[in-house]
Structure 1
Amino acid sequence: MLLTELLGIRFPLIQAPMAGVQDGTLAIAVANAGGLGSLPGAMLDETGLRAELIKISAATASSYNVNFFCHQSLPANTQQDVQWRQALAPYYQELGLAADAITGSASRTPFGAAQAEILAEFAPPVVSFHFGLPAERLMDRVKAQGSRILASATTVAEARWLEARGVDAIIAQGLEAGGHRGHFLSEDLSLQQGTFSLLPQIVEAVSLPVIAAGGIADAKGIRAAMTLGASGVQLGTAFLCCHEATTSALHRSALRSDAGSHTALTRLFSGRPARGIVNRLMKELGPLSELAPHFPYASSALAPLRAASELLGFDDFSPLWAGQNRTGCHEMAAADLVYQLSSAFRD
């Protein structure tokens, strides 16, 4: 079955779910333009998730995707937290922040029964998962409501694991991709490959449709992925500067600057490797520093620093998620971007 038929879309083009820089507005625009718009659910509480799904359901009759994280939720580690606060103390002092300004808790919640209950109300056409899959009983609930299931793989082994557990299509996430690595069988980053190396290997290894993600920014990149066997593509960075995205002015400026081409994998902002534009914190502490607590607790202590720095017009402590190829990121309507990209399928 073609990916367009499987997912109920006009073009085999998926807008990557990007927590923190979008809401349902971007997903609606992409869906109405013929692609698969995606809503990131990892940072939404139950009230927020339901509100976004109500908004999307009212604004489009087209297919859309809701994405969730499936990490194992570990308790906070006091020793790690103290170590992290000590590492950040000089920055607190520099910005005149009190040491006890740290407030809040981890903001990324794994998919669970509460989210499954809300999804049952709306039965979204597509549900996607990052960091593996939820428990089998939760997977069964999502399947029972008729939703197609997508999941990310960063290695051939992960792709085979996902196929064995009944997903409908696999997203082959290359090392170039922005945001969090979708790895879940191993934390060894050396196992991960670039998109155009990983993609044909996964296509060969599984019998499911494979969606290429990472480093694809235009129609030429899409054609290259399709030539290597992809059934469709997923783009994130290209949508960051769309009018409908909530990407901050500082983030947009960084994407347009010369610095925007310098990205790295970093643990500093969440505790789990994710690709973003290199900024002051990454340079001074080292992007993969072990000082940061495990996922998702690193963000709590950074929140006051980020807020204070952004008020001064600096992105020193902000997660500037972006892939290695930001050339397709322009200030434009999402529908216009989908139309440009879809030339890969229309020509």
Structure 2
Amino acid sequence: MDTQHHGKRFSLKSLALPVVQAPMAGGPSTAQLAAAVSSAGGLGFLGAGYKSAAAMRAEIETARSLTTNPFGVNLFVPQPSIISPEALQQYADSLAADAERFGVSLGEPKHDDDDWDQKLEALLELAPAVVSFTFDFPESSVVEELRQRGMYVIATVTGREEALRALAAGADALCVQGPEAGGHRSTFKADAPPPLVPLHGILGDLSDLEVPLIAAGGIATAEHTRAALAVGAAAVQAGTAFLCADEAGTKATHRAALSSSHRFTTTAVTRVFSGRNARGLHNEFMRRHDGDAPYGYPEIHHLTTPLRAAAAAAGEPDWLNLWAGMNYRYAVEGPAASILKSLAP
């Protein structure tokens, strides 16, 4: 069932509801969640980051078996390594007590490309309706190949310079991520300071570009959606709002933390878990290590993986990356279709 045989390429205008479910790598985004959102009139997304190409392929096939509507697949663009062995060793030493607490060894801090070539190969073969990229944007030859196979290509950007680069390489649309967003900052430079201009400011700054803009960051209610559309967005993208959906693969410890407002009262941007800026519920691990965590993705992500897995298994949210956007208090449990409806303008 590939898109080019459907005739027209995907268009945001074809959505019954102008709401995209953000790709959330690391578990929350499942084929069931993407299919439920797409079937209910939004655009569901699979997060292929941290997965093998084979796992991504299986998820695309599962989502296709669950919905005939278009859905998207998101890839992490590989980054050059930016961390020195000394800085890595220093950070590993500072995490030793945490690892001991959970009785685990730290992970091997390797640099990898997240199975990039194999994923591109699988995308060209399976041709999902939409593909988006985070942490950078591929070169124009890659974008052109995807578009020739009928795919609609979205770049995730955090400001004007990135937007212009993505458009020059052939992006069909821009997902504009404001600092209100949960999870990783999508800055093209791994060690770029987190952008401070709020979402509506970035949308205003890009309003002269002849391309559909998808507003991401802090979208958690119908009112937020209407406000973003009013300043020129063609659609909105919500991630945190879907973390507690029945179909989401969010860890139980993470779900529980989102609703325990007495324990976690705010979000903050940190690089302690992955070596890249990301917003999550402010917890003990962040308090301990914000001062000594270097930039270094994906090495630090791999280094802390066993520690985070052990914390999740032990139900210890203070040692887990509890990604969440600024408006996380609006996140509710229930079927994805009803959450989607609550975000519709």
Question: What TM-score do the two structures reach when normalised by structure 2?
Answer: 0.90
Please state how far the C-alpha of 1:96 moved relative to its aligned partner: 4.2
In structure 1, distance between residues paired with 2:190 and 2:305: 29
Please state how far the C-alpha of 1:304 moved relative to its aligned partner: 3.0
Residue pair 1:24, 1:55 contacting (<8 A) in 2 also: yes
CA separation of 1:4/1:113 partners in 2, compared to 1, >3 Å: closer, same or farther? closer
Secondary structure of 2:317's aligned partner: coil
Q: Does 1:276 align with 2:283?
A: no
Aligned partner letter, 2:301: S
Aligned partner letter, 2:335: A
Residue pair 1:67, 1:127 contacting (<8 A) in 2 also: yes
Q: Does 1:114 align with 2:118?
A: yes
Q: Does 1:133 align with 2:132?
A: no
Q: Which residue of 1 aligns with 2:19?
A: 13
Residue pair 2:157, 2:177 contacting (<8 A) in 1 also: yes
Aligned partner letter, 2:303: A
Q: Which residue of 2 aligns with 1:305?
A: 307
In structure 2, distance between residues paired with 1:95 and 1:65: 37
Q: Deviations over 1:16-71 (max 9, x none)?
A: 00001222111111011110000011111021011111111221110101001113
Please state how far the C-alpha of 1:290 moved relative to its aligned partner: 4.9
- 1:1-347 to structure 2, matched below 5 A, reads 5-6=11-12, 8-20=14-26, 21-74=28-81, 77-97=84-104, 101-104=105-108, 109-110=113-114, 112-184=116-188, 187-189=191-193, 191-204=195-208, 206-258=209-261, 259-286=263-290, 289-292=291-294, 294-342=296-344, 344=345
Residue pair 1:41, 1:66 contacting (<8 A) in 2 also: yes
Please state how far the C-alpha of 1:231 moved relative to its aligned partner: 0.8
| Deviates most, 116-125 or 154-163 | 154-163
Residue pair 2:20, 2:45 contacting (<8 A) in 1 also: yes
In structure 1, distance between residues paired with 2:309 and 2:103: 12
Q: Deviations over 1:292-319 (max 9, x none)?
A: 4600111233233223333432122211
How many matched pairs?
A: 335
CA separation of 1:6/1:253 partners in 2, compared to 1, >3 Å: closer, same or farther? closer
CA separation of 1:72/1:191 partners in 2, compared to 1, >3 Å: closer, same or farther? same
CA separation of 1:209/1:331 partners in 2, compared to 1, >3 Å: closer, same or farther? same
Please state how far the C-alpha of 1:102 moved relative to its aligned partner: 2.8
Aligned partner letter, 1:175: P
In structure 1, distance between residues paired with 2:88 and 2:179: 29
Residue pair 2:241, 2:328 contacting (<8 A) in 1 also: yes
CA separation of 1:186/1:93 partners in 2, compared to 1, >3 Å: closer, same or farther? closer
CA separation of 1:126/1:96 partners in 2, compared to 1, >3 Å: closer, same or farther? closer
Backbone CA RMSD of aligned residues: 2.3
CA separation of 1:109/1:333 partners in 2, compared to 1, >3 Å: closer, same or farther? farther
Please state how far the C-alpha of 1:192 moved relative to its aligned partner: 3.6
In structure 2, distance between residues paired with 1:110 and 1:208: 29
CA separation of 1:75/1:185 partners in 2, compared to 1, >3 Å: closer, same or farther? closer
| Deviates most, 109-118 or 275-284 | 109-118
Please state how far the C-alpha of 1:84 moved relative to its aligned partner: 1.7
Aligned partner letter, 2:18: P
Q: Deviations over 1:146-196 (max 9, x none)?
A: 101111111122222222221111111100001111111584426441112
Residue pair 1:68, 1:111 contacting (<8 A) in 2 also: no
CA separation of 1:340/1:246 partners in 2, compared to 1, >3 Å: closer, same or farther? same
CA separation of 1:108/1:61 partners in 2, compared to 1, >3 Å: closer, same or farther? farther
In structure 2, distance between residues paired with 1:190 and 1:340: 29
In structure 1, distance between residues paired with 2:114 and 2:204: 30
Residue pair 2:218, 2:325 contacting (<8 A) in 1 also: yes
| Deviates most, 276-285 or 153-162 | 153-162
| Deviates most, 208-217 or 194-203 | 194-203
Identity %: 36
In structure 2, distance between residues paired with 1:52 and 1:121: 14
